[in-house]
Structures are given as structure tokens and as C-alpha cells.
A and B are shown apart, each in its own frame.
Chain A
Amino acid sequence: MTKLLEIKNLNKSYDGIPALNDVNLSIAPGQIHGLVGANGSGKSTLMNILFGSPVIHETGGYQGDIFFQGQRISLLNCAEAIAKGIGMVHQEFALIPDMTIGENIKLGRENTYHLTDRLFGRKYSLINRSQDYQSAAPVLQRMGINLELGIKILNLSTNIKQFVEIAREIARSDLQLLLLDEPTAVLNQSDAHKLMEILTEMAAAGIGILFVSHRLEEIQHICDTVTVLRDGKKVSQYEKADITINSLARDMIGHLVSKANAKKREPMLQPVITFHNFSVKMPGEEIKDLNLNIFEGEILGLTSLSGHGKLALGYGMMGLYPAAGMVTYENAGLSKMEARSNILKGMYVLPDDRQDLGILPEHSLEDNIIFTGNQIKNMFARNPAWGFLGFIDRKKAKQHVSQMIDDFDIKCSSSKQRVRELSGGNQQKVCLARALTVNPRLLFVAEPTRGIDISAKEKILQMLIDINRSVKTTIVIASSELDELKRVCDRIAIIVEGKLFKVLSPDSSDLEFGLALSGEEGAACAEL
């Protein structure tokens, strides 16, 4: 069988630090090749080399050979890669927000009017928009998305954007090799399934696919071959029949991961907070008329399909988006949803979007961890009476932060290291440490494991369980990772279209969850 892509002895280093070390890999037409590895294992570097990203060239190029359809290639920029029939779906979207869905899909391959073609040349010709939309529509429909093609990208939710990005690649008739960099990271499970189907179809049509994902289940499900990278080296390669999640996970981190699991216990009954007709106007994640009791000391899972409102609850409490309705917290009504007063009352929110909401990237670990405690509760003040002109008691802060670094096993060079330089998992630990510093009674956590590699993921879940058990913090975890919620939570609330649909026990079957998530009653099943 002729290979579509063959990589031989690929080496790449950044400033003398090796990112890839003698990597060999080949993909045949119609094959789905999985690529897994922990953060920093070299997956993205490999993708960048294959797609001709200028970053590679600017940092000194690479050593080794890449053969595409039998020819040795050396790509200097993405345009060359595209011309050769290589397509890439990026982890961060490469879409133009101010252009419509249709325009984005057809970008660079627009249908034009013949007359203007002849008059001004193809480059300056008028675009035939209706024909563009006509040819783009079937692609979207194939993916099960029925959307007006004239909607601008900036008005779309994250998962739809991901589909548009994939549609752009699928719509290319000359596509030979598709590179996917964690396309499912922002999708929920049902959308991810949909994507898997599409990829299988594409492979059947003879397109080679290189698929990077943190979700090992997906890899096992669709890949014909899997390569595992660790610290830039190829550790192992498995064929379809031999792929097991455990072996992948072991190879990725070099040892087995023990999964976090909370012991089952008696249900709590004392409500700590009660929402009555609570609404949050968060664009794309709206909550409407939510009625929900959260019990003291429990871990409550909050899940929904994306866009149905699971993320909005915490943000609404902090006044990030306009909220309305009645909330009773510790037997007293809450009059206003405002971050400062609610943090003082013992609530805290860890956001899903770490980069934009969760950290001060240029500040040190220490500053990040003590920030809220210092600002809101005036902790670590050298002289508390000085108020907003007070300085920090560095010694006390340092002591606390070293304790946190030890407790949470945060990997850093020192407490003065900038948070920007830490990996996603360690940043999340910093966020958790900051939350614990204010000692909240009620902690909202949104997507705590998003974009974090598998071993750090379990550590963070275990930390949440430990916090709950040791300091009796009530925790609400909003997540789309049903499997994680089932292992950690006491109860799981399902939100459908911004309303509480059902509260299920974590022991409920996948079928029940599936039905509930899509808003089907399925009462018969539940009774059985």
C-alpha cells in the first residue's frame, strides 16, 4: 500500500530544548491515525510542522524527512500545505469572526461570476454569494447542522464554530490529509459522536486523517493506528485491535493513573442555597426560571448539552451577567448578585475559561493564590488597619503559598514563577488554591478538567473530593464530562434549555442520562 504521509526521523528543538526526538510515523489513504500524549509531549509541534506553520521555520526549522504522496516535502508556510491538499482544524479556531458561516467555509475557494473573472481576473472577481451558500449548505447538513449560512461567526457558540471549522476542510474537494488538533475538546459528548461519524465517513472516502485528542475513548473508537508520544519521543504504536485505554494512558504518562472516585454516602438534606425562578442572561448559555436546591456538604454535578445553561449559574451569582429571581442562601434572601458581597458570604466561582477569567498570567504563583483573599478579605495584610493602602505580609503569604504548592503538588520552579509559564493542569491547581484560600462554603466550579491532560485531570477531581470531605465545602461542578461527574458527585442535575429537567443519582444508567440530556422524559426507564 502506498503511503500518503511518511515521516522519518523527525527532530525539532526550540532554543536547544528538544520538542521532537526521532519521530517516525506513516499514514495511508483512508486511515485514521491517532496521536496521543500528555501536554507538552510534542503533538502540536508535529502538527505545526506538517501544516507548515511559520513558527517552525522562524525557530530554526527541523531535521528529518517528510514524504507526502511519495515526494519529499519541506513546507515553509501554510499556503503551501493547503496547495498540496493538507487541511488542518485548529484547537483555537481559525475562523474570521466578522464573516458569515458560508463565507468562512468557502474562504479562498469562492465561486465567482464568469464575466468579472474575464474582466478583472479571478483574484479581483465578484463573488457569487448565492452559489457559495448553495454549495456550502450540503456540507453543513451532512453534519446535521441546520443553520442560516448568513449568520456571522461571532454570534455562534463554541461547538458550532468547531463544526464550521471542520466543514471548511470537508468542503474542499482536493483534501488528501486532514490534521485535527483536539477537535473535540470544546464539544460535548453527543456532538463529539457526530464528529466521529463524519470522520469515519471521510476516511472511507480515502482521506488520511491525523487525529489528536485527549479523550482516549474517542481514539480507541475511531482510530486505525495510534501513536503515543511522550516528551517528544514515540513511545509506542498500536493497531486497531490492540488499542486499550489503559495501555494508552500508561504509555502517555509512563505509569498507571488511578481514577478519582468518591465513596457513596447518605444524601444530605439541609439546603445551603435555594434557587427560585432564577434566570441568568449569559449569551449562548442562558438559564431561565431555574428551581434548584443545593444541599449542605454535597457535591452536585450540573450538566447539560452545550448552550443549555450549565455554565451560567456560577457566573450569574457573581454578577458577571444580569441575573434575576429569588435566591435563599443560608436561610436568608440574597438581594443582589455581586461578586464582592457574595465572596464575603462564602461563595466562590472557578471559571471554565481559565485564560480569560481564571488567572493573572503575568503575575507570580504567589500573587495569584493570595489575590482574592487579600483583596476581598484583607488576608495577608501586614497592617490590616491600613485598608486599601495596606501592604502585604510577604512572610505570611509565602508560608501559605508553599503550603498550597506542597498540598496540591503544583509543579513550578518557585512561588515567584509566572503563572503563564505553567501547564494547564497546574494553572487549574493554582485557581483551586486561590479558591481554598478564601475558604468558601459554597464553591462553583465550571469545566474543571477542560484542556488538562489525563493524569492532572484525576488529581484535580481528587482534590475537589478532598476539599469537600475535609472542610465540608459544598461544591457545584458544571461539566460536560458525564463520566467524571458520575465518579465524583452525590447528585447530578440535568439542565435542559436553561431549566432544571431532572436530578439523577450518579448510579443511573447512561441511557437515562442520555434521555434526560436530550430532554426526553423516559419515565418508564427510570421506574425500572
Chain B
Amino acid sequence: MPSFSMKLPQIIISTFLILLILLAYLLQMDLLVLFNESLVKLVMNGVLVLSLIPMLNAGAGMNFGLPVGIVGGLIGMCIAVNYRMTGFYGFFMSLFFSLLICIFLGWIYGLILNLVKGREEIAGTFIGFSFIPLMNYFWTLVPFTNRQMLYPIGGQGLRPKINLELYFYNILDHLWLVKIGGIEIPLGLLAFFGLLCLFLYLFFRTKLGRATAAVGENEAFARLSGLNVANIRLLAIILSTIIAGVGICVYTQSYGFIQLYDEPLSMAYPAISAILIGGSTGKRTFIFEAVLGTYLLQTMYLLTVPIANEILVPELTEILRTFITYSIILYALLIRDKRRSSR
């Protein structure tokens, strides 16, 4: 087990969180409802955060190119919706399609990242930036036929928001929903998340997983020990992309709408922010850190909305969120570079 001690970002967020809970209590908000929602938010965003881990552990940095995997998942879901697959069938077919697409996208993404070793983060950012406009053409031109996905007028090109009400909206959220008094525990959703965590945990215990961690920690050592560094990195990047695809499917079934076009672009930052709050330093990261970080960040987001609405101008919520997300990334970059230079 990793030894765990509170670091500055966690202290700040936790203090802020406690303050918010206190405020919420004073404003007589329903804390139980907020707690229920926080569990859903954890899994909704948690899978995307988990997807960062294989790349971090392989030494490929924080996956600022998360939109690549997200797009893979979106295409997967669109295919399922186009063929009117509903319920669990629809959801799992979405996962299956996105798996296939993400393997392909991740492979290309990985090949590119292997060329820019050491600068993956900045390269990933711009791969994301350039990939999204390309996909915007795809969304407008793709010959899907389900009218519920297309622009109502003209009947061509996908809508920016596709309603999942009739397909697999809340399919995991409402699975095995256990109610104890006012508390609602989405057991199915948590179990799905738990299985993914377990999968990742086990992966890093396998020979391949251990090789991945070694490549991330000391690449020259790995090469001298006879490992094929390029292939291992490629595999880790593909794995990250696949989990990101799964992540967006989980997110979307909770959210209720498939969000296309420019939406995936901004999704990398809260995920990275969350894993940094959890204690990752941009190197080897533990699953526990991802889960903790997601819960802290998402619960804080969750609480700021009603509280800010109550006591401040409503617009301030969004500003606060953005500010916190980006400043945490900045902070992490700062302390990392300080550590590097002090070595």
C-alpha cells in the first residue's frame, strides 16, 4: 500500500469542502440529497480520471489528449443509438463499439506520442485541439439515419446534444438502487466502478503491468533489462484511451445527453485536476489517489452550485469551478518543476 500523507492541495480542498458542508447545513439544504448525488458524481467522472493512470504509470505524463478517447466513446454511443439499441443491450454495445474505435484511435495516438517522448503532455494538448475540429466535420457529415440524433431542420448532421431518454439514460445509476431512509446508494454504478478499479489494480500486478511501471520509472533500466519500451508505452496509451472511452459512456448515461462537437475539449482538465488533488505527481499514481481526488473535487463542485446560487451571484459558480480546476493544474506543474530542479 502506498504510504499516504496529506499534501497541500488536499488540505486546501478538504478545508474548502468542510466549509461548504457547514454553509450548506446553515443554509438548511438537504445534505442527504447532496450526499446521494456525490456518489453518482464520483463514478460519473471517476472512470475518466482512472483512464489517466496507465499513461501516468508508463511515464507518458498526464493525458491532456483525453479528448481522443472521449471521441472514441462518443462514436461508440452514436453507433448504438443510431441502430436504436436500448437498455443494457444499448449500453454494453456502446462500450463494445467504443472499445474497437478506441483501440484504433489509441494506437495512432500512441504512435504519435512515442515520437515526442518527454513532451507528451504538450503534444497531447494539441492533438486534442486539432482532433476536435476534425471530428466536427465528422459529426456533420456522418450518414447516421436515426432522426432523433439529427438536426430537426434539414435532417442532416448530428445534433450537439443527443437525448438518451429512450435509450440508456441512467441505466447504471438506477441499477440496484438501495434506499436506506433518505440515503440512496447506487450499488450497480459503484459495482461497475469497483470492477474497473479492480481491473486496473490487477493489471498492474501482471507481468505486463509491472513492465509498464518499470518503463515509467526508469526507461533506460527497462531497455537494458530487455523490455520493448516503445511497445509497452503504446499499450499503456491504448489502454488509457480505451478506459477514457468507457469513461465517457458512464458519464453520458448519467448526464442524459451525448454531447458532441466542442464539448470533449474541456473534459481533460477536471480529470487531471482531480488526479492531482488525489496526490499524483505526474508519475506513478495509485488508484486510491484517483478515487480520492475525484470525490473531493466533484463533491466540491456539487456543493458550490446551490450555495453560490443562494448567497452569491449564480454566474460565480462556473467561475469558481474553472478557477479551481486550472489553478490546481498550475500548482501541480509548479511543485513538480521545483522538485525537478532541486534534484
Chain A residues packing against B (C-beta within 8 Å): 315, 318, 320, 338-343, 349, 351, 356-363, 367, 371-372, 374-376, 378, 381, 386-392
Contact = CB atoms under 8 A, between A and B. Distances in A.
Contacts of B228: 340
B207 A389 contact: yes
B185 to A, nearest CB: 32
Interface of B is mostly: helix
Contacts of B221: 356-360
A376 B225 contact: yes
Interface string B198-222: 0000100111101101100110110
B223 A391 contact: no
A339 B217 contact: no
A388 B208 contact: yes
23 contacts: A320-B224, A339-B225, A339-B226, A339-B227, A340-B226, A341-B226, A349-B224, A357-B220, A357-B221, A359-B221, A360-B217, A362-B283, A362-B284, A363-B213, A363-B214, A363-B217, A371-B210, A375-B207, A388-B207, A388-B208, A389-B208, A391-B205, A391-B206
A14 to B, nearest CB: 15
A343 B208 CA distance: 18
Nearest to A394: B205
B205 A375 contact: no
A360 B218 contact: yes
Given A390-B206, A391-B205, A391-B206, A359 B218 contact: yes
B214 A376 contact: no
A351 B220 CA distance: 10
Contact of A376 (B213, B220, B226): B226
Contacts of B227: 339-340, 375
Contact of B223 (A339, A378, A387): A339
Contacts of B202: 391
Contacts of A340: 226-228
Interface in B265-291: 283-284
Contacts of B220: 320, 356-357
Contact of B226 (A360, A372, A387): A372
Nearest to B213: A363
A357 B224 CA distance: 7
Contacts of A367: 210
Contacts of A362: 217, 283-284
Contacts of A359: 218, 221
Contacts of B213: 363
Contacts of B214: 360, 363, 371, 375
Contacts of B284: 362
Contact of B218 (A339, A361, A391, A392): A361
Nearest to B342: A55
Given A320-B224, A339-B226, A389 B206 contact: yes
B199 to A, nearest CB: 12
B239 to A, nearest CB: 13
A392 B205 contact: yes
A338 B208 CA distance: 19
A408 to B, nearest CB: 19
Contacts of B205: 391-392
Contacts of B206: 386, 388-391
A362 B202 CA distance: 19
A375 B210 CA distance: 9
B218 A372 contact: no
Contacts of A376: 225-226
A257 to B, nearest CB: 31
B220 to A, nearest CB: 5
Contacts of B226: 318, 338-343, 372, 375-376
Nearest to A338: B226
A239 B217 CA distance: 47
Interface string B283-326: 11000000000000000000000000000000000000000000
B223 to A, nearest CB: 7
